[in-house]
Amino acid sequence: MGLFIVTLVAEGHLSQGDAALASDAIRGLGAEPGPLAWIDAGDALDIAVSGSDAPALRAALEAALPMVDVIVQPAAAPRRKRLIIADMDSTMIQCECIDELADYAGLKAEVAAVTEAAMRGELDFEAALDARVALLRGMDATVIDRCREERVRLMPGAATLVRTMAGDGARTILISGGFTAFARPVAAAIGFGEVHANVLEIADGRLAGTVARPIVDAAAKRATLLGAGVPLDACLGVGDGANDIPMLEAAGLGIAYHAKPKASAAADAAVRHGDLTVLLRAQGWRRGEWATD
């Protein structure tokens, strides 16, 4: 049992009725809600809660408010985090780059099926990566730039989230099991200060069908977080797949973003409806304080 901050987010749709339902759900656990504190009226609010635990609060509130994003975190932790470490594909961008690249070779369905299984945690990440990249052997390397320009779109709220945190002095790390050819331009566009990703090997202007070692996998993501030199309770991690789970579990606040079930279950919170600015609401940021492009 402890003291927690519950943040409810539903931009433009959060009502006093939702707040009342949340308070009833909290009392139903035998806990006691404190006074409501609106971050921005109609968008996001905080409720201090004592006498329960985080998993029970999250489960009860997600059930009571199925259209509202719920973040539960210890009140004693630093509210505004000093580091954000984020996955790229389907988290900071709206696609899986390897699937889109495979589409240019007429192999999207085959590769996407392997990607989906790996993201659900049903396949070893390294073996699945090798198998998919091998299918791209011989592709003209210029297709990478074409794919990035034609297919890669930033996730709504990505730049606002990262630039707001960076402007407040936070360290910002993009870490991807995808490829540097995509991750470096994406990191620059969003405003990340640091990027880690895998290297597609190229020979004579064509993809060699291999990935340079060592690869960025689940263990590397966790190790990068742990080695960042920031107290863990001041770290925010965000991702969507099985290979993000160790990173999400290690972060002081691990958030699964429109994620696969295993990642959602492992994280401290799951964003199910809103965009990436929900992560700013979790840190108490008012809209008027957000960075603008």
Q: What's the pTM value of the predicted model, to 2 decimals? A: 0.96
At 129 the pLDDT is 94
Total domains in the chain come to 1
Query: Average pLDDT of 212-217?
Result: 97
Q: Does 190 reside within a domain?
A: no
With a cut of 80, say whether residue 293 has pLDDT above it.
no
Closest to 263 (Cα-Cα) out of 138, 110, 87, 104: 87
The per-residue pLDDT for range 255-265, each reduced to its tens digit, is 999 999 999 99
Residue 168 has what DSSP assignment?
A: T
Q: Does 8 reside within a domain?
A: yes
- Using DSSP's 3-state secondary structure scheme, residue 146 falls into helix
Average pLDDT taken over every residue of the chain: 96
At 123 the pLDDT is 87
Q: Does 16 reside within a domain?
A: yes
CATH number, domain containing residue 52: 3.30.70.260
- The verdict on whether 293 is a catalytic residue reads no
- The verdict on whether 43 is a catalytic residue reads no
43, 89, 99, 240: the catalytic one is: 89
With a cut of 90, say whether residue 218 has pLDDT above it.
yes
43, 46, 69, 87: the catalytic one is: 87
Q: Does 44 reside within a domain?
A: yes
Q: Does 18 reside within a domain?
A: yes
Q: Does 56 reside within a domain?
A: yes
Torsion, Cα 54 60 66 71, to 10 degrees, reads -10
Range of the domain at 8: 1-76
What is the identity of the amino acid at 16?
Answer: Q
Q: Does 267 reside within a domain?
A: no
Q: Does 14 reside within a domain?
A: yes
